[in-house]
Amino acid sequence: MSNWIDVIADSALAEGEHILVDADSVAAAVFRIDGEVYAIEDVCTHDGAEIASGFCQNGEITCPRHGAKFCIKTGKVLRGPAYEDLPCLQVRVENGIIQVQEN
């Protein structure tokens, strides 16, 4: 049985926005892109720094420290210096609440 953590009302996360959450002691960023909700761990795989404050556009996030770029939907590296994908979290909307799954 998996545990889900309530993070925000679905109606409170607008298109193109994101929010930082604590998901079972894991810092995560939850995004709404093209009407869907996605969650990534808030850590760049290049050097371990936070990534959620980076530039977001077209479903991609650029690390504010060294410019590594990732796909928010899949976590895939799109540009180095990172070479490891971002960890993604399972996310769902249940009874109007966005939830992320505990690791």
Question: Residue ranges of the domains in the chain?
Answer: 4-101
Task: Give the C-alpha distances (Å, rounded to integers) separating 56 from 10, 38, 44, 93, 98.
Answer: 20, 13, 14, 22, 20
- For the entire predicted model, the pTM comes to 0.93
Predicted local distance difference test score (pLDDT) of residue 29: 96
Q: With a cut of 50, list the residues of the chain below it in pLDDT.
A: 1
Residue 11: phi, psi to the nearest 5? -70, -15
Residues 52-71: tens digit of each pLDDT: 999 999 999 999 999 999 99
Residues 6+ apart with CB under 8 A from 34: 15, 59
CATH code for the structural domain at 4-101: 2.102.10.10
With H, G, I as helix, E, B as strand and everything else as coil, classify residue 54.
coil
